[in-house]
Structure 1
Amino acid sequence: MHRFIVPFCLLLSACVPAAEPDTTTRAAIISESSLPPMKRFQVPRPLPAQASNREIARDFLALSFSLESGRELERFTRFEGPINVRVTGQPPASLYSDLDQVLYRLRSEARIDVARDQSGPAHVTIEAVPRAEIRRYLPQAACFVVPNVSSLAEYGRVRRTAQINWSNMTRRDRVAVFLPGDASPQEVRDCLHEELAQALGPLNDLYRLPDSVFNDDNVHTVLTGFDMLILRAYYDPELRSGMTQGAVASRLPAILARLNPAGASRPTAQLAATPRAFVQSVQAALGPGTKDRKSAARQALQIATAMGWQDHRRGFAHYAMGRITQSEDIDAALQHFQAADRYFAASPRTSLHRAYVASQLAAHAIARNRPEQALAVLAPQIDVAARHENAALLATLLMLRAEALDLSGRAAEAREVRLDSLGWARYGFGSDYAVRAKLREIEALNPLKGRIGRL
């Protein structure tokens, strides 16, 4: 998927625009450890889609008939028949269990006939390679998906030919996902979810989607209830490869009425399309190689304000401004984070966004020696991070809670919470070094331990 660096990825390698047009990417180590054992999410708890069917139909068409570059697709394409998935390369130990879990969800929630099969040629090949190999082809990408190839070597041979052009396809027969085998377990899993979703289904991303991995903001990293509904509709028997947009549009209302009866009575949010200028400004503000990030972030906020947006995109622009300005003006940054929280609070579909903002608000409260305020901000967000299976965010929130407990004189509770955070941090951040660096960063927020830090 086309993912770029965003402030929601707390000290994780995030995603950036691919160097080649129409190549779907997700922007860009575990050893023996003295830390507690790694923790993993066992039982998915996705929320059902919360949009109206009319809104979902509009999003389905926008996701399915355009590429991230803006190029229109003339035909609907998918796999026809059972889909087998094969893992090759140098996969980390965590990959297989995470893959089996997402494949189970695709079968049970999206009703797609997909399974792992290592015995021979595959419809979908997942190749785990060193991060450096991915960046040799796409320097700014952490992972990506390509049609009509089965290995990175094959991609290298045909990368400049029409063979890998999504718009030339009439159906999908062979797709490869390339992900970094030396990344943290969470980053590998996030790549699995996002790239596998695009290998099977829609190829586009939309900023207006608040609760989906099909969104460049990178907030959601595992497939949501909305995503599973989109994929279930994508593989509905009423649709088939080669259909035009008009033909798909004519059948969608009946499909969604059958699959999502609750969506018939929901109010429709008529969110305007996102101007390309906003996308470019956010990319410039949060992606690599930009000299004046603050100006780019300010432009994104100006566009959001001029458009009159009251949705998550306005909150996202404030959050980006807060992240960029906090190193030079903590008070101004706090105002942006508070504004972001107000916009995110307006919809239940942006609960995860609020959890990210909570990490910043709590950090500011801790730095100002207001532990009770920090604890109040953090309390409702820890389960939100867990429900959305974001171990990096969950570990961060728990570390912040431990620091606030220390400040309030509850040292025994703080030790217990901090110990709990480490298992999640090992999954979210990977190496012991990264985990300990995160601990030091949050400890630096404590005015009794060190200078004001930065999340």
Structure 2
Amino acid sequence: MRLLVFICLFFSLGTAQAQSETLTLKKLIDQFNSVVFIHEHGKQGREPKPIIKWEKPIVYSPSGTLTRDQVKKFFDLMSRIKRLTKLDMRMAQRGEKANLIINFLPKKALAKKTKPGINCFGNIKVDKKTYRINGAKAYIPSDRPDKTDHCLIEETVQLFGLTNDSTVLKNSMFYEHSKRTSLSVSDQILLKALYDPRFKSGMKKDEAQGVVRTVISEIVKKASKKKK
């Protein structure tokens, strides 16, 4: 069956919080292509890139002075990402080296690490031969109520291979002017889709299009059946 429009699609994925969003299969595919196959900070600005993704266990850790609320939001986000991607993820134990670190810094300290006007940013270490992610860090302002929560969501999720902003879906965290502080329905679909095993690290946009349509269609149909 050809599924074109999904109205008020609930995509809770085992959580108590259901979200709704009006989507089309075409927009989801366009969004995936815009976010996954482009790097917004290439040597000459936005540049095309193949799929990059984690294929090794992730040992993660927050760094800096966090409030109790920030700690909760960090661990809630990592739990949500783990459910969506099915990756082997766990918190670093004392003395253990993490390969994914979220740094919370006061805005003055953060300003020394980046260009003026940049509120937060992330770095990803990618194996140039396999295009697998080996490590990643994000830098989040710890004392910006207007930016902290959005930066945490955006920069952390981008560390998983969703590396570009987009203008396709305004309700998405990846929308260029988004101020979202939670993952939208489409954001969850994209993250879940990227970590489907049919997508391989190094896969280029043209060769991936058949897989993109198949995987996203399957995710949406499964979610639609749960709704019923």
Q: Please, what TM-score do these two structures have when normalized by structure 2?
A: 0.78
Asked if residue 245 in structure 1 is aligned to residue 175 in structure 2, the reply is no
State the superposition RMSD in angstroms: 2.7
* 8 Å contact from structure 2 (residues 35, 165) kept in 1: yes
CA gap 1:261/1:49 in 2 versus in 1, 3 angstroms: farther
* 8 Å contact from structure 2 (residues 60, 100) kept in 1: yes
* Residue 129 of structure 1, CA deviation: 1.7
Asked if residue 226 in structure 1 is aligned to residue 201 in structure 2, the reply is no
* 8 Å contact from structure 1 (residues 48, 226) kept in 2: no
Distance in structure 2 (CA, Å) of the matches to 1:75 and 1:83: 21
* 8 Å contact from structure 1 (residues 74, 167) kept in 2: no
- Tell me, which stretches of 5 or more residues in structure 1 are unaligned? 1-42, 149-163, 265-455
Distance in structure 2 (CA, Å) of the matches to 1:239 and 1:248: 7
Residue 177 of structure 1: aligned partner: 138
* Residue 54 of structure 1, CA deviation: 2.9
CA gap 1:74/1:106 in 2 versus in 1, 3 angstroms: closer
Secondary structure of 2:40's aligned partner: coil
Distance in structure 2 (CA, Å) of the matches to 1:132 and 1:189: 18
User: Which residue identity does 1:236 align to in structure 2?
Assistant: D
Distance in structure 2 (CA, Å) of the matches to 1:252 and 1:263: 17
CA gap 1:179/1:44 in 2 versus in 1, 3 angstroms: farther
* 8 Å contact from structure 2 (residues 170, 178) kept in 1: no
* Residue 212 of structure 1, CA deviation: 0.6
Distance in structure 1 (CA, Å) of the matches to 2:109 and 2:29: 38
Say which is worse superposed, 222-231 or 109-118, in terms of deviation.
109-118
Would you say how many aligned residue pairs link Structure 1 and Structure 2?
205
Q: Greater strand percent: which structure?
A: 2
CA gap 1:223/1:169 in 2 versus in 1, 3 angstroms: farther
Residue 105 of structure 1: aligned partner: 80
Residues 116-131 of structure 1: matches in 2 within 5 Å? 116-119=91-94, 120-131=96-107
Asked if residue 55 in structure 1 is aligned to residue 27 in structure 2, the reply is yes
CA gap 1:93/1:262 in 2 versus in 1, 3 angstroms: closer
* 8 Å contact from structure 2 (residues 27, 168) kept in 1: no
* 8 Å contact from structure 2 (residues 30, 168) kept in 1: no
* 8 Å contact from structure 1 (residues 90, 127) kept in 2: no
Hey, which bits of structure 1, 4+ residues long, moved more than 4 A?
166-169
Residues 73-92 of structure 1: matches in 2 within 5 Å? 73-92=48-67
User: Which residue identity does 1:213 align to in structure 2?
Assistant: M
CA gap 1:218/1:99 in 2 versus in 1, 3 angstroms: same
* 8 Å contact from structure 1 (residues 88, 128) kept in 2: yes
Structure with more relative contact order (C-alpha pairs < 8 Å, separation 6 or more)? 2
* 8 Å contact from structure 1 (residues 51, 263) kept in 2: no
Identity of aligned residues (%): 21
- Tell me, which stretches of 5 or more residues in structure 2 are unaligned? 1-14
Say which is worse superposed, 102-111 or 190-199, in terms of deviation.
102-111
